[in-house]
A and B are shown apart, each in its own frame.
Chain A
Amino acid sequence: MTGEAATLELEQVSKQFGGLHAVDGVSFAVGEGERVGLLGPNGAGKTTLVNCVTGDHRPSGGRVILRGRPVQGLKPHQLFARGLARSYQVVNPFPSMTVLESTMIGALVHGRDVSQAEERAMEALRTLGLAHRANITMSQLNIVAIKEAELARIVASEPSVVFLDELLAGLRPTEVSHLLDVIEDICTAGRWTVVMIEHLIGAIVRFCGRILVMNEGKLLADGSPEEITKDARVIDAYLGSKWRNRA
Chain B
Amino acid sequence: MKTRYWQALVGTALLALALPWAAYSETNAHTAALTAVWCLMAMGWNIISGFAGPLSLGQGAFFGLTAFSSTVLFDRLNLSPIFGIMIGVAASVVLAAAVGLITLRLSGLYFALATLTVPLILGVLTKYFGYYEISRPYVGESLRYLQFDSSLNYYLIAAILVAIGLALTAYLAGTRTGRYFVAIRENTRAAEASGVPTARYKLYAFLIGAAFSAIAGGLYSQLAFVFNPDDVYTPLVSVQALLIVLIGGPGTVLGPLIGALIVIPGGELMTQHFSQLPGLNNLAYAAVLLVVALFSHGGLYPLLEGGIGRLFGRRAAHIGPAVPNARTPASTADSRDSDATGSTDPRSDTGRDAAGRAESVTQGETR
Same complex for A and B? Answer: yes
Residues of chain A touching chain B, judged by Cβ–Cβ distance below 8 Å, are 54, 56, 75-78, 80-81, 85-86, 88, 90-98, 101, 104-106, 108-109, 112-114, 117, 132-133, 135-143, 145-146, 150, 153, 157, 170
- Number of B interface residues at 8 Å Cβ cutoff, please give it: 44
Q: B180 to chain A: which residues have CB within 8 Å? A: 105, 108
A136 to B176, CA, bound (A): 21
Asked whether A91 lies within 8 Å of B333 as measured between CB atoms, the reply is: yes
Q: B207 to chain A: which residues have CB within 8 Å? A: none
- Cβ of B97 within 8 Å of any chain A Cβ, yes or no, is no
Asked whether B329 lies within 8 Å of A114 as measured between CB atoms, the reply is: no
Given contacts A106-B195, A139-B331, A157-B195, 6 further A-B contacts (CB under 8 A): A76-B192, A77-B195, A88-B190, A94-B183, A95-B186, A97-B182
| Closest B residue, CB atoms, query A117 | B176
Q: B334 to chain A: which residues have CB within 8 Å? A: 90-92
- Cβ of B174 within 8 Å of any chain A Cβ, yes or no, is yes
20 contacts between A and B (CB under 8 A): A77-B192, A77-B194, A80-B195, A92-B189, A92-B190, A95-B321, A96-B318, A97-B186, A97-B318, A105-B179, A106-B194, A112-B175, A112-B177, A132-B363, A135-B366, A139-B326, A139-B331, A141-B330, A141-B358, A145-B359
Q: B192 to chain A: which residues have CB within 8 Å? A: 75-77
Asked whether A146 lies within 8 Å of B330 as measured between CB atoms, the reply is: yes
A81 to B193, CA, bound (A): 10
Asked whether B326 lies within 8 Å of A114 as measured between CB atoms, the reply is: no
Stretch at the interface among B232-240, B264-272, B282-290, B348-356: B348-356
Q: Which residues of B96-125 have CB atoms within 8 Å of chain A's CB atoms?
A: none
B342 CB to closest chain A CB (Å) equals 10
Question: A92-B334, A97-B186, A132-B363 given as contacts; is B352 within 8 A of A142 (CB)?
Answer: yes
Q: B355 to chain A: which residues have CB within 8 Å? A: 140-143, 145
A75 to B201, CA, bound (A): 14
A133 to B320, CA, bound (A): 19
Selected contact of B195 from candidates A81, A94, A97, A150, CB within 8 Å: A81
Question: A88-B190, A94-B190, A135-B315 given as contacts; is B196 within 8 A of A142 (CB)?
Answer: no
CB-based closest 3 A-B pairs: A142-B355, A94-B186, A109-B195
Q: B358 to chain A: which residues have CB within 8 Å? A: 136, 140-141
| Closest A residue, CB atoms, query B196 | A77
Q: B196 to chain A: which residues have CB within 8 Å? A: 77, 105
- Cβ of B362 within 8 Å of any chain A Cβ, yes or no, is yes
Asked whether A54 lies within 8 Å of B183 as measured between CB atoms, the reply is: no
Asked whether A96 lies within 8 Å of B321 as measured between CB atoms, the reply is: yes
Selected contact of A142 from candidates B176, B186, B359, CB within 8 Å: B359
A126 to B230, CA, bound (A): 58
Asked whether B322 lies within 8 Å of A137 as measured between CB atoms, the reply is: yes
- Cβ of B306 within 8 Å of any chain A Cβ, yes or no, is no
Q: A96 to chain B: which residues have CB within 8 Å? A: 182, 186, 318, 320-322
Asked whether B318 lies within 8 Å of A108 as measured between CB atoms, the reply is: no
B300 CB to closest chain A CB (Å) equals 17
- Digit string of B164-192 for contact with A (CB within 8 Å is 1, else 0)? 00000000001111011011001101111
Question: A80-B194, A143-B346 given as contacts; is B183 within 8 A of A105 (CB)?
Answer: yes
| Closest A residue, CB atoms, query B348 | A143
Question: A108-B179, A146-B330 given as contacts; is B193 within 8 A of A93 (CB)?
Answer: no
- Cβ of B307 within 8 Å of any chain A Cβ, yes or no, is no
- Digit string of B194-211 for contact with A (CB within 8 Å is 1, else 0)? 111111000000000000
- Cβ of B347 within 8 Å of any chain A Cβ, yes or no, is yes
A88 CB to closest chain B CB (Å) equals 7
Asked whether A86 lies within 8 Å of B330 as measured between CB atoms, the reply is: no
